[in-house]
Amino acid sequence: MTRLCLTLTLAALLASGAHAASTHAPPALRASTCSVRGLMDDLRRGLGSGSPAYQRYLRALLREAAVTLPDAELRDAFARETDPVMAEHLAAALVARAEREADPEAMNVVAQRALKDADPAVRAATLRAMRRTGALERTGDLYERMVRDESPQVRQEAATNLIEDNAHVYAGQYGPAADTAVTAAAAASDPAVTARILDNLSTEKISAGSAERITSLLRSDDASVRKAAVNALGGVPAEQMQGARESLLAMYREEPDEGVRKALLQSVAQLGFEGAIADLQRLRDLDPRLAQEADAWIQVLGMGLQEWSLLLREKQRLQQAP
């Protein structure tokens, strides 16, 4: 811990050492007490350097030091901090303590401030501190509540956390994490948030309940939400495929939006592969505007490829061909 404090102090001195170097006077070393206040003073000076890389470095140091910092002192500093940038750093330190089992309740302290702080900038910053961590599993219905926040910034930060946690922490392979994201998307008060989450979420491990929630969004008044729900249903697990396919086929006839209909063709193809060709042939005649799109899917599916990424690549190549 002493070494970490010393490193942070020397690093902060380096940020202001340019002036000393210009006068050929080396920066003087000074003692630094290993405390939250000392670390935060160094961090405030370091953030004034204007270097994003250096700021990330300081944040990493604080996270490493946080494990052995006095718990009460760190919590108190976080509770009193009103600057969003500093609040984010302190929140990240508390999250680090929770993840390393130094303070299992620290994550809840951060979550409560994200929910209750009067300043939306602080709420958003606190959410960012939980990104790409295990917060999604430890904070109950936090995200379901945050996507209904009165601040658009906070709602979008919550959506980003859900998307990035599922992609980078769980690699899209952990059903409960995906279910949390689906629940939040369905609960969101902002159609843009709902659509963004569903458009960027792997649904291959979701539960039957989540598949039902997504299916209910097919009736949304917002076309972007309907389209995102269609896209999400295209990737559901095998046990939900038949129900998803039936819902999408039934939707096509009544869907007024051309973009949503185009998404429907893709998801029907994704759910059925070669088995979807007959469905696509029937859908082709319902909307002359999308006849070429349906024909492209029919042709590509007829190649017998067994990987969705290869089908997408071949369809793109086919449509780009002169």
Tell me which DSSP letter residue 170 carries. S
Residue 9 confidence (pLDDT) above 90: no
Residue 174 confidence (pLDDT) above 70: yes
pLDDT score of 250: 96
pTM of the prediction? Answer: 0.86
Please write down the long-range contacts of 55-64, taking CB distance under 8 Å and 24 or more positions apart.
Answer: 57/11, 58/8, 58/11, 58/12, 58/89, 59/89, 59/92, 61/4, 61/7, 61/8, 61/11, 62/8, 62/89, 62/92, 62/93, 63/92, 63/93, 63/96, 64/4, 64/96
Q: What are phi and psi of 46, to 5 degrees?
A: -65, -35
User: Amino acid identity of 275?
Assistant: G
Provide the 3-class DSSP secondary structure of residue 181: helix
Q: What is the mean pLDDT of the chain?
A: 88
Q: What are phi and psi of 103, to 5 degrees?
A: -155, 85
Provide the 3-class DSSP secondary structure of residue 100: coil
Q: How far apart are CA 30 and CA 8, in angstroms?
A: 12
Q: How far apart are CA 240 and CA 303, in angstroms?
A: 25
Q: 240-294 pLDDT, tens per residue?
A: 999 999 999 999 999 999 999 999 999 999 999 999 999 999 999 999 999 999 9
Where do we find the tokens 């963004």?
A: 196
pLDDT score of 31: 42
pLDDT score of 43: 78
pLDDT score of 5: 54
